[in-house]
């Protein structure tokens, strides 16, 4: 069953039934200032950091689940309704929610009144616009009442939902004309306030929640709205809100438009006040003036569209398969921008207070984003590397506001450092900008310890070399990519988190996943050294890689697949010998991608084993059989019920690693089949089961051993976005940036006749057409650039013209 449809032309998903199986959300904002908005108007807004600078309040895990947001109420006679259906939940005559590229539009109608709400954040602006259009389509004159509503968060989202003995006394507001200012804590250590405005005179307002709501009413039926009369309340403590009240009279056919703005202001200490206890409102007024008419809003909205035209225009495909095209051309790229911005901080599953920016997560997110805005990717790489320690280890996470490592989350995840080599090499291949390597980057955010960025990569590489276990395989540390495989943890205490609890200090467990990862990114490190003339460095590193390959062949092969690990006691994990968890996806993915034992047939056997033991109708599960009881020596992985999350769930992030492995074997049909199993647009028809948005990837789909296989959770913020984009474009469609040009090496389903792809690379546009006349999966027979036949399958970096044509014939 579907709850809407794709509108590819407008790059929107159009939801036509508000009762989606879970809130289907969108993100507004591209840099610094962001909002989350659900298909029924739920969500919240923050500046840079969803923990430390939250503007509006949102209650996670609410009943019903999505309650609280940026709301509008219309009172027409005795009927109260909302254009986004919620909060009023009055049955509408029509409802539509269009989630587009950084904007959302609602359109609801009731009894001849049509109301549209357009929400977006203009580029480079610290404010959300809500443009409300109310039209009378009836034949009578209508007098209606419009109420807006936001609930302020007292900035620190964690404190806001826990520290009531203080919070209920601190709330402060100011009201001037049509602008409601939120200034809690401004008089002490804060240099910021928020405001909520509308571009015309109002007929009343409320700023105190209970005065507006009434003590016993919910968001669906605020007392002020039911009474058709605001109370003009001024909040002192309790819960400050912002609600405007406007009386509207509309002749038949007439419409009126209003521009609301939810904004954020920061001030220098000396400019904070206008007079005693009165905040300096000038910056807010300037912001309001910037968009005080629908014409000005339209210009900003057009700019936003233009921005996305340009970003998405860098990679566009025409494959003949709509579902694939809309993923690659629109939604997957869009999601990559969102994961780049949010890491794992704020979604409807991530509460915005705990996770900040992940070291491994953000490095991986970058590979799906770097082609869009390479300058931002460069800055991000430096931010991440700055949190690394001199021995190559790093903080697992950092706060976006301070860019400092988050000490409470700790470190010692021994895969973390290697991902920095991935992001850096992908950045340089995309841009050709080797200067990043010379950039002075601090260790542990301490400039006195700064070294050229290249030294960070070296530290990353040698962190593995310096931390090998008894089988000469990498020590896992707290955990590797699978941060639930806590092999040195041995936690007995339900009050401690597996993610932060003290590890056994002499942790001996070893990881085959890190071994594969090390070989893949070790080779990248070597390749990079060769590019910049560091021959000696390269051959030294190559020696360590060769030893790692030997160690995997020697002690990492289980007969039909790669082992997953050795546990603390030196016992095998992910082996035929184990009763449960006999085979894991991660080591099959990484050792295959590394090509370890390719000649001996290991890669093929491993991927065949994945197909046989891990594949199911909804994707590839992480491990099999799933654990049915708690294994203290394995940790969190065995805490999840069978079939969920890291215990036998389809953890979508890692499925592309297998797809890439398949493309190395040339099995294009298999790679693509895996792709279509988890790509959301292919799951639209089973939305009822899948539950989450059909336009973005989710972290986890319940696996074959789950109670409800196919049911998904944790949409949006997952490395799934970047890995799938990377895999489909660079390994399946096979257009891959290299230091010296674009490598063209597709691995597609045999049945395809070919496809077209437009790729902007280093400022130059390539129109690539791939033809598959004899129906093979892989193998470039001929390649022509501007009609000229090339040797090999690399399109060199061309700068003479801005547009080039490339013809590729497979065979
Ligand atoms: C989850 C992981 C997540 C980790 C980090 C675990 O509970 O299962 O997917 O990465 O927490 O917070
Ligand atoms: C989600 C985390 O964000 C990521 O860092 C981790 O690799 C996966 N879960 C797997 O456990």
Please identify, by atom number, the ligand 1 atom nearest to the C-alpha of residue 645: 8
Q: Return the best residue to mutate from 483, 586, 634, 644 for the ligand 1 pocket (most ligand atoms within 8 A of CB).
A: 483
Radius of gyration of the chain, Cα coordinates, nearest whole angstrom? 28
Distance CA 446, CA 432 (A): 28
CB hemisphere CA count around 496 (13 angstroms): 13
Distance CA 440, CA 389 (A): 14
350 lines ligand 1 (CB under 6 A): no
Going by the DSSP 8-state scheme, the letter that residue 522 receives in this structure is: H
* Per-residue confidence (pLDDT) for residue 441, from 0 to 100: 98
Among this protein's residues, is 483 annotated catalytic? yes
Q: Would the pLDDT of 505 be above 80?
A: no
Distance CA 390, CA 449 (A): 8
135 lines ligand 2 (CB under 6 A): no
646 lines ligand 2 (CB under 6 A): yes
Q: How confident is the model at residue 204 (pLDDT cuts 50, 70, 90)?
A: very high
* Crossing angle for the helix pair 453-465 and 374-385, to the nearest 10 degrees: 50
Question: For the chain, how far is it from start to end, CA to CA, in angstroms?
Answer: 40
Q: Would the pLDDT of 657 be above 90?
A: yes
Q: How far is ligand 2, taken at its centre, from the CA of residue 686, in Å?
A: 26
* Per-residue confidence (pLDDT) for residue 410, from 0 to 100: 79
Are the beta carbons of 588 and 610 closer than 8 angstroms?
A: yes
Q: How far is ligand 1, taken at its centre, from the CA of residue 645, in Å?
A: 9
Q: What number is the average pLDDT over the span 739-762?
A: 98
Please identify, by atom number, the ligand 2 atom nearest to the C-alpha of residue 485: 11
Q: How confident is the model at residue 659 (pLDDT cuts 50, 70, 90)?
A: very high
Residue nearest to atom 1 of ligand 1 (CA): 484
Question: Nearest Cα to 624, choosing from 633, 615, 632?
Answer: 615
Length of the chain: 811
Other Cβ atoms less than 10 A from the Cβ of 13: the count is 28
Q: Would the pLDDT of 465 be above 90?
A: yes
Q: What is the pLDDT of residues 376-424, one digit of tens each?
A: 999 999 999 999 999 999 999 998 888 998 888 778 899 999 999 999 9
Q: What is the pLDDT of residues 226-266, one digit of tens each?
A: 999 999 999 999 999 999 999 999 999 999 999 999 999 99
CB hemisphere CA count around 614 (13 angstroms): 33
* Per-residue confidence (pLDDT) for residue 637, from 0 to 100: 98
Are the beta carbons of 565 and 511 closer than 8 angstroms?
A: yes
Going by the DSSP 8-state scheme, the letter that residue 99 receives in this structure is: E
Are the beta carbons of 525 and 457 closer than 8 angstroms?
A: yes
Q: What angle do CA 162, 163, 165 make, to 5 degrees?
A: 135
Please identify, by atom number, the ligand 1 atom nearest to the C-alpha of residue 651: 9
Q: Would the pLDDT of 539 be above 90?
A: yes
Residue nearest to atom 5 of ligand 2 (CA): 361
Distance CA 570, CA 488 (A): 11
**DSSP string covering 264-293:** EEE--GGGSEEETTEE--HHHHHHHHHT-S
Q: How confident is the model at residue 799 (pLDDT cuts 50, 70, 90)?
A: confident
Distance CA 114, CA 606 (A): 58
Spell out a b/e string for 181-193, using b for 16 or more CB atoms within 10 Å of the CB, else e: bbbbebeeeeebb
Q: How far is ligand 2, taken at its centre, from the CA of residue 748, in Å?
A: 29
Distance CA 424, CA 458 (A): 12
Dihedral (C-alpha) 151, 153, 158, 159: value to the nearest 10 degrees? -110
Dihedral (C-alpha) 460, 465, 469, 470: value to the nearest 10 degrees? 170
Q: What angle do CA 401, 403, 408 make, to 5 degrees?
A: 95
Going by the DSSP 8-state scheme, the letter that residue 236 receives in this structure is: B
Q: Would the pLDDT of 502 be above 80?
A: no
Are the beta carbons of 399 and 50 closer than 8 angstroms?
A: no
Distance CA 317, CA 328 (A): 7
**DSSP string covering 301-351:** HHHHHHHHHHHHTTEEEE-S-HHHHHIIIIIHHHHHHHHHHHTTSBSSSSB
Using DSSP, state whether 134 is helix, strand or coil: strand
Q: How far is ligand 2, taken at its centre, from the CA of residue 402, in Å?
A: 22
483 lines ligand 2 (CB under 6 A): yes
State the alpha helices, DSSP H only, in 122-269.
Answer: 157-160, 164-170, 209-213, 223-227
647 lines ligand 2 (CB under 6 A): no
Distance CA 348, CA 36 (A): 8
564 lines ligand 2 (CB under 6 A): no
Distance CA 249, CA 140 (A): 11
* Per-residue confidence (pLDDT) for residue 501, from 0 to 100: 83
Q: How far is ligand 1, taken at its centre, from the CA of residue 720, in Å?
A: 14
Q: Which residues sit opposite 511 in a β-bridge? A: 565
Distance CA 95, CA 107 (A): 6
Q: Would the pLDDT of 332 be above 80?
A: yes
Q: How far is ligand 2, taken at its centre, from the CA of residue 482, in Å?
A: 6
* Per-residue confidence (pLDDT) for residue 713, from 0 to 100: 98
Q: What is the pLDDT of residues 563-621, one digit of tens each?
A: 999 999 999 999 999 999 999 999 999 999 999 999 999 999 999 999 999 999 999 99
Q: How confident is the model at residue 635 (pLDDT cuts 50, 70, 90)?
A: very high
Other Cβ atoms less than 10 A from the Cβ of 382: the count is 18
Mean per-residue pLDDT of the chain: 97
pTM: 0.98
Determine which one of 160, 415, 480, 483 is catalytic: 483
Give residue for tokens 């979604």: 347
Residue nearest to atom 10 of ligand 2 (CA): 482
Are the beta carbons of 767 and 657 closer than 8 angstroms?
A: no
């Amino acid at each position: 069953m579907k709850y809407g449809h794709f509108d590819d032309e407008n790059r929107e998903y159009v939801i036509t039934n508000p009762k989606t199986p879970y809130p289907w959300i969108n993100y507004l904002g591209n840099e610094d200032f962001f909002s989350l908005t659900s298909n029924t108007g739920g969500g919240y807004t923050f500046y840079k950091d969803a923990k430390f600078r939250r503007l509006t309040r949102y209650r996670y895990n609410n009943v019903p689940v999505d309650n609280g947001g940026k709301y509008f109420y219309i009172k027409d006679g005795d009927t109260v309704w909302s254009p986004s259906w919620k909060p009023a939940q009055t049955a509408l005559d029509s409802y539509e929610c269009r989630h587009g590229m950084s904007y959302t539009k609602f359109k609801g109608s009731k009894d001849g009144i049509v109301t549209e709400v357009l929400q977006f954040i203009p580029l480079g602006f610290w404010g959300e616009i809500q443009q409300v259009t109310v039209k009378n389509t009836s034949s009578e004159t209508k007098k209606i009442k419009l109420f807006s509503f936001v609930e302020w968060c007292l900035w620190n989202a964690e404190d806001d939902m826990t520290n009531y003995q203080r919070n209920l006394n601190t709330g402060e507001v100011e009201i001037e004309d049509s602008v409601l200012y939120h200034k809690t804590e401004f008089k002490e250590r804060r240099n910021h306030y928020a405001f909520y405005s509308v571009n015309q005179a109002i007929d009343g307002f409320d700023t105190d929640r209970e005065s507006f709501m009434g003590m016993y009413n919910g968001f669906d039926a605020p007392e002020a709205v039911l009474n058709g009369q605001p109370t003009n309340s001024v909040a002192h403590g309790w819960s400050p809100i912002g609600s405007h009240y406007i009386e509207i009279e509309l002749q038949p056919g007439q419409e009126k438009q209003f521009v609301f703005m939810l904004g954020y202001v920061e001030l220098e200490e000396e400019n904070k006040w206008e007079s005693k206890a009165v905040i300096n409102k000038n910056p807010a007024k300037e912001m309001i003036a910037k968009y005080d008419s629908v014409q000005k809003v339209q210009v900003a909205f057009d700019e936003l569209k233009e921005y996305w035209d340009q970003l998405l225009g860098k990679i566009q495909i025409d494959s003949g398969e709509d579902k694939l095209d809309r993923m690659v051309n629109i939604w997957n790229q869009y999601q990559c921008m969102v994961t780049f911005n949010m890491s794992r901080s704020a979604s409807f599953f991530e509460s915005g207070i705990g996770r900040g920016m992940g070291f491994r997560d953000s490095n991986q997110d970058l590979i799906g984003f770097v082609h869009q805005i390479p300058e931002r990717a460069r800055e991000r790489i430096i931010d991440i590397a700055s949190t690394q320690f001199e021995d190559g280890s790093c903080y697992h996470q950092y706060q976006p506001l301070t860019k400092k490592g988050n000490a409470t989350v700790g470190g010692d995840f021994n895969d973390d450092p290697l991902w920095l080599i991935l992001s850096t090499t992908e950045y340089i291949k995309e841009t050709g900008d080797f200067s990043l390597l010379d950039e002075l980057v601090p260790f542990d955010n301490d400039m006195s310890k700064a070294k050229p960025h290249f030294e960070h990569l070296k530290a990353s590489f040698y962190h593995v070399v310096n931390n090998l276990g008894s089988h000469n395989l990498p020590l896992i540390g707290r955990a590797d990519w699978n941060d639930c495989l806590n092999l040195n943890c041995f936690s007995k205490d339900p009050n401690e988190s597996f993610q932060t609890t003290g590890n056994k200090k002499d942790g001996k467990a070893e990881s085959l996943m890190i071994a594969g990862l090390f070989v893949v990114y070790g080779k990248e490190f070597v390749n990079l050294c060769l590019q910049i003339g560091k021959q000696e460095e390269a051959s030294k590193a190559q020696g360590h890689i060769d030893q790692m390959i030997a160690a995997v062949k020697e002690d990492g092969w289980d007969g039909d697949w790669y082992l997953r690990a050795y546990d603390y006691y030196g016992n095998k994990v992910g082996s035929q010998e184990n009763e449960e968890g006999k085979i894991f996806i991660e080591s099959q993915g990484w050792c295959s991608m590394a090509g370890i034992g390719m000649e001996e047939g290991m890669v093929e056997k491993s991927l065949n084993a994945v197909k046989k033991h891990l594949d199911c109708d909804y994707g590839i599960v992480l491990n099999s059989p799933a654990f049915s009881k708690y294994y203290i020596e394995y940790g969190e992985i065995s805490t999840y019920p069978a079939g969920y999350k890291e215990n036998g769930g389809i953890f979508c992030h890692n499925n592309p690693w297998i797809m890439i492995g398949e493309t190395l074997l040339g099995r294009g049909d298999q790679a693509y089949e895996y792709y279509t199993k988890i790509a959301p647009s292919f799951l639209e028809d089973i939305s009822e089961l899948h539950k989450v948005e059909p336009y973005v990837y989710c972290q986890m789909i319940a696996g074959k051993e789950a109670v409800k296989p196919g049911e998904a959770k944790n949409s949006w913020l997952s490395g799934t976005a970047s890995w799938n984009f990377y895999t489909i474009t660079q390994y399946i469609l096979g257009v891959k940036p290299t230091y010296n040009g674009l490598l063209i090496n597709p691995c597609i389903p045999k049945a395809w006749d070919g496809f077209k792809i437009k790729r902007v690379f280093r400022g130059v546009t390539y129109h690539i057409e791939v033809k598959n006349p004899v129906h093979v999966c892989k193998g470039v027979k001929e390649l022509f650039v501007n009609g000229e036949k090339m040797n090999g399958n690399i399109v060199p970096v061309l700068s003479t013209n801005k547009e080039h044509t490339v013809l590729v014939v497979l065979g």
